[in-house]
Copies of this chain bind each other. A is one copy, B any other.
Amino acid sequence: MREGRFRIGVVAPGSRIEPALGEKVTRLAETLYPDRPPDIFFHPQCSRSWGHFAGDDETRARAFLDVANDESFDALWFARGGYGSCRLAERVLPALTAAARQKAYLGYSDAGALLAGMHKEGFGGLAHGPMPSDVRYEGGDAAVKRALRFLVERAPDSLEGTVSPATTTAAFNITILSHLIGTPLQPDLAGHILMLEEVGEQMYRIDRALFHITGNAGIRSVAGIKLGRCSGIPPNEPDFGQTEEDVTRHWCGISGIPYLGRADIGHDANNKVVPFGRWRPA
């Protein structure tokens, strides 16, 4: 952290957010830290629009680099998931400078594509956790405050309950990790406890993505899988006949990966923070 206020730069490598959302998050930060609120800079790119995305690939990549490579920022916070991070990896990863390695990065869902690539590149400050857009969840204020307390204070109670300095961890959305398998963005997760969560995918898709993830030789070197929440699962026609825990146990059994139970992460207000790699307390 530099002299003065903690500085957070927010960028949106996937889908856009409304400017009003930034104002709401800024007010929450002022409530949380009335004496010295962090300086949260919402990059103007966050509310740009290009079809599905918050600006075209070049605009989003440049915004990411604006924050990542600026040493005056202590943290880069992903504004929202949606879709689009994977499209930026080939532009962003080779352009990150030494300054980019000195800060924290927090996001999840679609953001996992860039977090994965940066983990592979040896970045140390990466974490899976709440984003500004999570303020829209019922109780979402708590998620945003948890993220801020993680970024500003490295507060231990913001972490998923089983994270400790003795564990090596990573967390991903199931569908996002599936789409990184076999690409240059696939992270080396050997020895990691891999936490997985999902939202809005039918059970047959969850099953298929777990077949895919656990079928990869590199993934089979993880220390184990913990299953986060799978929410908003649309009905399967016919009924799938198995729960998300059933299919996770199934594929762990087939692949020889230890199944380690549930993880306290998901697309909801209770989503806890999971550092990539080994947690270093403040």
The reply on A236 being an interface residue by CB < 8 A is yes
Q: Is the CB of A186 within 8 A of B179?
A: no
What residues of B have a CB within 8 angstroms of the CB of A52 in the complex? 203-204, 236, 238-241
Name the CB-closest residue of B to A182: B182
Which single residue of chain B is at the shortest CB-CB distance from A87? B211
CB of A208 within 8 A of CB of B179, answer yes
Q: Which A174-212 residues sit within 8 Å CB-CB of chain B?
A: 178-186, 203-204, 207-209, 211-212
Contact status B86-A211, CB under 8 Å: yes
The complex places the Cα of A254 from the Cα of B86 at a distance, in Å, of 12
Instruction: Report the copy number of this chain in the oligomer.
Output: 2
Instruction: State the CA gap A190–B242 with chains docked (Å).
Output: 38
The binding surface of chain A is classed by DSSP as loop
CA distance in complex: A51, B204 (Å): 10
* A104 CB, min distance to chain B CBs, angstroms: 26
A51 touches B240 (CB 8 A): yes
Closest to A83 in B: B204
A258 contacts which chain B residues (CB < 8 A)? none
Task: Tell me, in angstroms, the Cα distance from A83 to B241 when the chains sit together.
Answer: 14
A236 to B: closest C-beta gap in Å: 6
Besides A50-B241, A52-B203, A90-B254, 4 other A-B contacts (C-beta < 8 A): A52-B240, A52-B241, A182-B212, A182-B218
- Contacts from A to B (Cβ < 8 Å): 49-52, 83, 86-87, 90, 178-186, 203-204, 207-209, 211-212, 215-216, 218, 236, 238-242, 254
